[in-house]
Amino acid sequence: MNDPLPECIWFYTGADYLIINAFLWKNKEALGPCLDVVWQNNRCVIREAEAEGPEKRFADAPLDGVSLYRAYIKRTPEALDVDSKRAMLMQAIADIRLLCRSMKPLEDPILLYRNLGKGACLRNVGEGDPVDLPGITSTSTTGQQIDYGNNDMRKPAQILKLEIPAGMPALFIEGEEHEVLLPPMRYTAAGVGVENDVPTVALRAMSPLDLEEVIRSASEAFSEYFDRQK
């Protein structure tokens, strides 16, 4: 049986992270547009694969082209209606569980970074405050704190410095971005400041949140997709 994790990571790092985190953060304004973006993107990829052939379309992918094409078909309904949105959300929940189940305890503590745009900044956080991040947090071991020069368009609105103790779960993704995924987690604010003219918040991981409770709460928030009567 093929390992389902590489496929899950492929779709998560492509565009599905939009759905997953809008769902986990219970962002009702964002979820609909995110579903639409991912659906349109996937339908476009399917058309390209049908025109070029799967092996050619996915020549640079680390996965078999035909299998990846079939995965796009499986994950992407032909039309985007309420039932297909529910199916996409059910797939997102399955991916959340797989990603978190695949995370391994860290052997050593690690410092990770996450850049945030203006709309995602943590606000009114003081040292010692508890901070819950209910999404799957994509971070980097390198490249977050760099010299942005005069290019303010590239400058984040806020940088999170995440102190992750040994024993906490994480999933390392191979690639140039040195990406590390963290599960829904409770943190304590360890410090607030400014570095390189960018506001920073240092967070120390305390414990993973109860994943099934996070999923249950998010599902309740989007009950229009899950409780629809046919």
pLDDT in tens, 85-113: 999 999 999 999 999 999 999 999 999 99
Range of the domain at 45: 5-102
Given CA atoms 33, 180, 188, 117 in this order, what sign does their dihedral have? Answer: negative
CATH number of the domain that 158 lies in? 3.90.176.10
- Which of the residue ranges 50-64, 96-110, 117-131 would you say has the lowest mean pLDDT? 117-131
Same domain, 18 and 77: yes
Considering 39, 68, 102, which residue would you say is the last residue of a domain?
102
- The pLDDT confidence band at residue 176, using thresholds 50, 70 and 90, is low
Q: Is 227 among the domain residues?
A: no
- The pLDDT confidence band at residue 225, using thresholds 50, 70 and 90, is confident
| 170 closest CA partner among 160, 159, 185 | 185
Model pLDDT, residue 196: 79
3-state SS, the chain, equals: CCCCHHHHHHHHHHHHHHHHHHHHCCCHHHHHHHHHHHHHHHHHHHHHHHHHCHHHHCCCCCCCHHHHHHHHHHHCCCCCCHHHHHHHHHHHHHHHHHHHHCCEECCCCEEEEEEECHHHCCCCCCCCCEEEECCCEEEECCCCCCCCCCCHHHCCCEEEEEEECCCCEEEEECCCCCEEEECCEEEEEEEEEEECCEEEEEEEEEEECCHHHHHHHHHHHCHHHHCCCC
Same domain, 121 and 36: no
Model pLDDT, residue 147: 45
Same domain, 203 and 112: yes
Number of domains in the chain: 2
Residue 97 dihedral angles phi and psi, to the nearest 5°: -65, -40
Q: Is 50 among the domain residues?
A: yes
Residue 182 dihedral angles phi and psi, to the nearest 5°: -120, 145
Average pLDDT of the chain? 91
- Which of the residue ranges 13-27, 35-49, 69-83, 167-181 would you say has the lowest mean pLDDT? 167-181
Higher pLDDT, 155 or 59: 59
pLDDT in tens, 131-168: 999 999 999 987 544 444 444 556 788 999 999 999 99
pLDDT of residue 39 exceeding 80, the answer is yes
Q: Is 225 among the domain residues?
A: no
- The model's pTM is 0.91
**Mean pLDDT, to the nearest integer, of 124-136?**
94
Model pLDDT, residue 184: 98
